[in-house]
Structures are given as C-alpha cells and as structure tokens.
Structure 1
Amino acid sequence: MDAGKFALLLLAGVGAGLTGAVAGLASLVSYPALLAAGLPPVSANMTNTVAMLGSTAGAAAGSQPELRGQARRLLPLCLITTVGGACGGLVLLVSSPDSFTLVVPWLIGGASVVLMAGPRLRRMAEHHEHRGIGPLTGIAAFLIGVYGGYFGAAAGVLMLALLTTVWSQALARTNAAKNVATGTANLIAAPVFAFTGKVFWPAAIAVCAGSVAGSWLGSVLVRYLPATPLRIAIGLGGLALAAVLAWQAYSG
C-alpha cells in the first residue's frame, strides 16, 4: 500500500470514529473506503471489524463521564453482545454473505425508524427494564451482536434504537453505552478474523489509528449536541445507508 492510500484510510478512520461515536454509522465511512482502496468485500469486512476496535477504545476513553454509574447494567449487556458477535463471526466464516445482505437494508431501515420513535416507544413501555437487562432486551442485544460480528454496518443504530427504547436517560449516556456494547461484539470476531489471512493489515492499522482519534472526539462532541435533532439526524442517516445498501443488494 502506497503512502497516499494509507493517508486516505487514516483520514477515513477519523471520519468513521467520529460518525460511529456520534451516530453509530462508522462503517458508512470505513467500509466504502476499504473497498475504494481495492480490498475485496469479505476482506474489507474483516479488516473493518478489526480496525473498529480502535473506535471502541477511543469512544470509551472519551465517554468516561457518561459511562460512570452504568457498569451494573452495561456489563451483562456487553457479555450478551460479545457472545452474539462470536456467533456472527462464525456465520461469516462458514457461509456466503449474499443472502444476508438482502436482509441488512431492512434491519437498518427498521432500526432507524425505531430510533426516531424512541421516546414514544419508551413511554409505551416505561414500566419495563429501566434498571437492567430483561429477557426481550437481552434477545434483541444478542441478535444485534450477531449482526455486528457478521457485517456490522449500522449495528450502532440498531443498538441505540434498542437502548433508547428501553432505557430512560440522557441520549449522551445511552450513546456512550451503545458505543461500548457494540464494540464488544467484535472482541472475539476480530481476533478470529485476524487469523484467517483475509485481514489486510496496513489498511487495518490506518483505519484503526484514525478511528481512535475520531471516536474520542465524537464522544466529547455528543455531550453538547441537542438530543432530539441528533436522534433524528442519526435516524435519517440510517435510512440513507439502508437505501444505499438496498440498491447495492437488489440491483445486482
């Protein structure tokens, strides 16, 4: 890889970390950048999964005030998403991604609509699961972890939609929890991918390094952004990504 491509992927990593920490759409930036750098789709997906560990680290470092006091319910959530991510990574290794990519746009689009309707849905379910992880939330988090380990684009939107619906707290705190929970979905998948030989390490290092800085910055910025416009912007971004992925999946 030449210096120009490395620099562009480093910049893409900054953008991915920033959008991931704020909106849960890191792969909207990083995955197309890896494809543009010449990586085949499966290699780009695995490389992206490894690189996004940097985004998780940066987001966690930048979100310490928001994460304070959330350990009791965040720990079981992370355990669930870690197991789900391991299952998703296994599915990717043993199957073709073609059939799943047909479903991905619908998952992302639905999650985006749920996210925008989050406060209303939370009022409808306000007697459920405000203090911990109940069975339905656990199942949903596991499935999001599977999705994150398998493909991952907009897994943060899915998780934010879930947590916004079942947890009553400031969006910045929920967003910080989302960053950690979706990041742990890659804790097993990423090391497994690293040993498949399909991870392109120069690209992974570039995107990872950029994402650490971008996600830290995004975690700081989200404290000062108004909750309702941010939630709507994230939802609209998710719908846009769903439309792009649908076009790619069904036009072929």
Structure 2
Amino acid sequence: MTIWTAIFLLLGGVGGGLLSSIASMASLASYPVLLAVGIPPVYANVTNDAALIWTSIGSTISSTKELKGHWKETWFFTIFTVLGSIMGCILLLSFPSSVFEKAVPFFITFSGIMILVSGKHNTLNTEKQPTWLRIVYLGTLLIMGAYTGYFGAAGGVIVLVILTYITNEKFIVINAIKNVISGFANLVALIIFMFTSHIYWLQAIPLAIGMFIGGYIGPAILRRVPEKPVRIFIATLAFVQSAYFFYTAYLR
C-alpha cells in the first residue's frame, strides 16, 4: 500500500466519521473508498465495519457532555441492539444478504421521512406511553440490531428514528446515544466476522484513524448547528442512499 493510498483512506475515513456521527451515513464515504483501492465488495463491507468502530469511540469521547446522566438508559438500549446484532450475524452466515436487498431502499426512504416527521412534535412523554408501546419500540431496537449485523445499510438512521420516539431527550443527546449503541452493535458484528470472514487490516488502519477524527469532530459541529437543518441533511442523504440501493436492487 502506497502513502497516497493511505492518505486517500485517511481522508475517506474522516468523511465517513463525520457522516456517521452526524448523519449515521458513514458508508456513503468509507465503503466507496475501500472499493476504489481494490478491495472486493464483500470484504470491503467487513473491513468498513472494522474501521467504523473508531467512529463510535471518537464520537463517544466527544459527546461526554451530552451523555452525562444518560448512561443507564444507553446501556439498557445497547442490550437490545447487541443481542439483535448477534442474531443478525447468525442470519448472515446462514443466508445471503441479498435476501434484504430489495427491501432496503424502502426501509431507508421510510427512515428519511420519519427523521423529518419526528422533528415536528414536542409532545412525546415516555412516562405516559403505555407499556405495550414501549415494548414495541424496544423490540424494534432488537430487530434493528439484527439488521445492523445482517445488512446494516443506514441502520443508524433507523435507530435514530426509534430513539426519537422512545425518549424525550434533545436531538443531540439522542444522536449521542445512537452513536454508542450502534457502535456496540458493530463491535459485536466485527468480533464475529473476525473469525468467519477476511478483514483487510492494512487498509482498515488509516481508515479507522480518519473515522476516529471525523467521529470526534462530528458532535462539536452538531452543537453549533440548528436541529432542523441537520434533520433535513440526514433525510436528504437517506433519500440519496435509498435511490442508490433501489437502482442496484431493481435496475442494474
């Protein structure tokens, strides 16, 4: 690997880290970078996951202010996504990810819409939510953990939507919690894939360094940007990614 390739991966990682910590869309930057340096698609996906962990580490360190007083609920939500991630990895080892490919564009489009819609209400109060509804939300987190381990495309955006409806916290706090629980779901998937697939560690290292930097910078940017433009930005990226996956699943 040349120094220019390493710099290319580093910059791609910074972009991926920023997109992940702000908009849960790291793969829009990092995955194409891995393909561009010649890594096959299946292994690029796994290598991307190996580097993506460092985005969560960077964003968590940078978000200690937002996470203060919220660690108990963060760990509680993490349990569901981690268990789901284990289930998803088992499914991936048993069935091809192409099973999900035709449904993914619609999942992502729905998530983009919900990111916009969920920002228009301020009346949610989790203390007044019926028990059955909270069980549904937590079950959905379990499913999304499985989705992250099995396929993963825009999984963070969908988790962000679920957390918006399951807690009353400000968007920047919800985003910080999302970064933590998604990070653990990815970590579990990575540990499993380390023993079942091939990771291009040499390329993953500069990508991971870039992702750590981008993940650390992301929360600082969110503190200085109004919530509405951020939601619009996330939704726009979701629709772009949805269109791409629709093209690959139905038109290519």
TM-score past 0.5 threshold: yes
Shift of 1:90: 2.0
Shift of 1:18: 0.7
Write the letter of the residue equivalent to 1:28: L
CA distance in 1, matches of 2:124, 2:80: 25
Q: Secondary structure of 1:195's match?
A: helix
Q: 1:5 and 2:5 equivalent? A: yes
Identity over aligned residues, as a percent?
33
Write the letter of the residue equivalent to 2:156: G
* Native 8 Å contact 2:63 2:219 kept in 1: yes
Provide the residue aligned with 1:171 in structure 2: 171
* Native 8 Å contact 1:74 1:181 kept in 2: yes
Q: Secondary structure of 1:134's match?
A: helix
Output one character per residue of 1:40-83: Cα deviation in whole Å (capped at 9) or x when no partner: 12111111111111111001001000001111211110011111
* Native 8 Å contact 1:105 1:243 kept in 2: yes
1:1-252 correspondence runs (5 A) = 1-120=1-120, 123=123, 127-128=128-129, 134-252=134-252
Shift of 1:234: 0.7
Shift of 1:109: 0.9
* Native 8 Å contact 2:125 2:167 kept in 1: no
Output one character per residue of 1:182-228: Cα deviation in whole Å (capped at 9) or x when no partner: 11111221011122341111121121111001000001111111011
* Native 8 Å contact 1:129 1:166 kept in 2: no
Q: Secondary structure of 1:8's match?
A: helix
CA distance in 2, matches of 1:124, 1:224: 25
112-121 or 71-80: bigger deviation: 112-121
Distance 1:159 1:197, change over 3 A: closer
CA distance in 2, matches of 1:210, 1:196: 26
Distance 1:113 1:54, change over 3 A: same
Output one character per residue of 1:90-138: Cα deviation in whole Å (capped at 9) or x when no partner: 22222212221111111111111111100346647763289xx931111
CA distance in 2, matches of 1:30, 1:87: 25
* Native 8 Å contact 2:35 2:44 kept in 1: yes
Write the letter of the residue equivalent to 2:66: E
Shift of 1:143: 1.2
Q: Which runs of 4+ in 1 moved over 6 A?
A: none
Return 5+ residue gaps in structure 1 as ranges.
none
* Native 8 Å contact 2:125 2:168 kept in 1: no
Shift of 1:150: 1.9
TM-score, scaled to structure 2: 0.93
Name the count of aligned residue pairs: 250
CA distance in 1, matches of 2:77, 2:2: 41
* Native 8 Å contact 1:50 1:193 kept in 2: no
Distance 1:213 1:136, change over 3 A: same
* Native 8 Å contact 2:35 2:41 kept in 1: yes
CA distance in 2, matches of 1:45, 1:102: 18
Return 5+ residue gaps in structure 2 as ranges.
none
210-219 or 136-145: bigger deviation: 136-145
CA distance in 1, matches of 2:130, 2:71: 15
CA distance in 2, matches of 1:23, 1:11: 18
CA distance in 2, matches of 1:69, 1:43: 38
TM-score, scaled to structure 1: 0.93
51-60 or 85-94: bigger deviation: 85-94
RMSD (Å), alpha carbons: 1.9
CA distance in 1, matches of 2:152, 2:203: 18
CA distance in 1, matches of 2:91, 2:197: 17
Q: Secondary structure of 1:246's match?
A: helix
